[in-house]
Structure 1
């Protein structure tokens, strides 16, 4: 099973989504195979901000969307019948063959050394919920809790499922749904525990669309690719950075003062 998680910070680029801020785009694709029954299942699912956006129905061999914003994308992808046939071949046969091959190499090869999580606090804007996101950890057992003034706080908390990343590590998110006034009255801390190691994140470490430093794994926007340079404020002031955009043989260069 493969899972690709994308953190997106963007302004409107003529897409169906017009809101700005921090957004999460997820794609989970791959296959499952039962070595006892021989049954297999392929899947290709896309999500936006934790909600289903579009998925591939391998039986009907077409993309289906539960939201209006996904209709245009589904219609476009469904026109490419050759690509749909290739995906069906991959998910129902090639992917399963790869699973069998790796299992043949021995289960010992699948055992990974312990890897600690990378923890981030994410918030779209000051009135939005705060997500405590842990990713890149192995094994999968992890505990994410919220503290309020040093005491465990379970109210207004939505704990997500543990998902697997593309490289075999895992990720998990816990969302705190409170009002802005609560942040001012109380001190909230996200605590992540994994393999005997404890990581804490506080309000001062929240990443939002106003943050000076952004941690971005991948940026994917259908027909657009946006790259965000993770640079500290000091380096930004001391050095001159250029952004070069190439599109259809046309090159556009922007310097720092043009942002």
Structure 2
């Protein structure tokens, strides 16, 4: 489950100099082979801490070994509290949709980013069963929702509370975590690269894996000239060890491959010079592609829910958000610190 949640946080960041802190909370109805509540924090794409309702323990060694006891206690208590809040939230939302049975989920993603130029950004969005139903506009303090019932949400202090959290507490915690995890977050691990295809008529895959930080560029050249057609760049995915992997797929005919000189170019901050792989030296596997399995167990239900939600596939349904409030307010932080 931990590694599956890493997949969710493969969000695009503009620069390696940026720092980001993202939280994801997921509630799921009983009966699935997953914890009923899961919370995870990601710092620059690396897992800061993880909590679920089965273990009821907060884990995150590089963070725990460096953070103060009061802050760790605050995060633990916050996780316990949200476990109970999400039980209520998912039940209320099921009732709104007249759902009485089946597997359903309630998701909340909230986080902030501090860029190298000093600018700061925040985001907060909610989803039900994988659909994006509510997101916060920090500039106007308004919610984007499928219908006018969002006004009932706006009448609560939630938007103001979340704005304060994102622009103040979240940034403070981000800076704290970056300092604690600097050795991990600023390490540089070079990629391992390979070229392969299923058979002579299949697409050619240029695959880079095991690299850190996340930012990487994979491009193609044809006879020494940059190639943009017939190329599909895939998402950057996490590995279980905290590194990343990425692939780019070249689809041309066998005749074209033999007639021209194709190369894959990989650029990464850990490399003194770019890696150049000749397509002529590719490996033809003679079998199917083997995708890296992320985590010990990959559950199709959760992947579909999250991927659909992240792609913001809109569902025009009546919706009224449950009224839980952000618990990480200024008074609680003052008490915790």
TM-score computed with the length of structure 1 as normaliser: 0.49
Higher strand proportion, which one?
Answer: 1
TM-score, structure 2 length as denominator?
0.39
**Could you say which structure has the greater relative contact order, defined with CA pairs below 8 angstroms and 6 or more residues apart?**
2
Bigger Cα Rg = 2
